[in-house]
Amino acid sequence: MSVDKYERIWMFGAGGLIVVFLVIISITAATQAVRPPSHIEVVNPATIAEHPEFGDPQLRVEADGRIVIPVLAQMFGFFPDPLEVPVNTPITFRITSADVVHGFQVVGTNANAMAVPGYVSQFTYTFKKAGTYDIACNEYCGLMHHAMVGKITVTEAPGGQR
């Protein structure tokens, strides 16, 4: 049985690529830890209950007027919940997990981050429309994953600002 010369070149080329990919995947898996893609900030999940920010997470207003919300994701809910924020105001979310990897997705927006134990995921989002939004966990985290839903109510800013 003979294989055409060009067929053989392509066979070895494709086989070589598979080997290269497997080597890259193996090296990555052996040397890289699971972590968020940006904003590397660490926190100890074992002592999270005593943490000054995440032990009893509460919405806070910084001296410069920014609204910051620390969020603790934990089987099977988000804390604090429900949330209430004003419309057209930048909201900085700081999210971590007490146990396994969870997701934090504000449904119908592009506000979306992973909640990884040991790390703080942070992003800032401005709601343009008042209303009530669901927050969904979009990383499978256990038996009640489907019930892990939070709520955020976006209210018209006081004084009728738009």
- Compute φ and ψ for 6, nearest 5 degrees: -70, -35
Among 137, 150, 152, 154, binds Cu ion (CB under 5 A): 137
- Compute φ and ψ for 34, nearest 5 degrees: -75, 125
Among 141, 150, 152, 154, binds Cu ion (CB under 5 A): 141
- Compute φ and ψ for 94, nearest 5 degrees: -125, 115
Report strand pairing: 67-74 vs 90-97.
parallel
Q: How many residues bind Cu ion (CB under 5 A)?
A: 4
Binding region for Cu ion (CB under 5 A) out of 14-22, 83-91, 104-112, 139-147: 139-147
Least Å from the CB of residue 81 to Cu ion:
13
Q: Which residue has the tokens 């942070």?
A: 122
Among 71, 120, 135, 148, binds Cu ion (CB under 5 A): 148
Binding region for Cu ion (CB under 5 A) out of 20-28, 90-98, 132-140, 149-157: 132-140
Which DSSP state fits 92?
E
Site string for Cu ion, 70-109 (x = CB under 5 A): --------------------------------x-------
Least Å from the CB of residue 77 to Cu ion:
8
**Beta carbon nearer to Cu ion, 106 or 137:** 137
Three-state SS for 35? coil
Helix, strand, coil tally for the chain in percent (to 5): 25, 35, 40
Least Å from the CB of residue 105 to Cu ion:
11
CA angle (84 as vertex; 75, 96 as ends), nearest 5? 35
Binding site for Cu ion (CB under 5 A): 102, 137, 141, 148
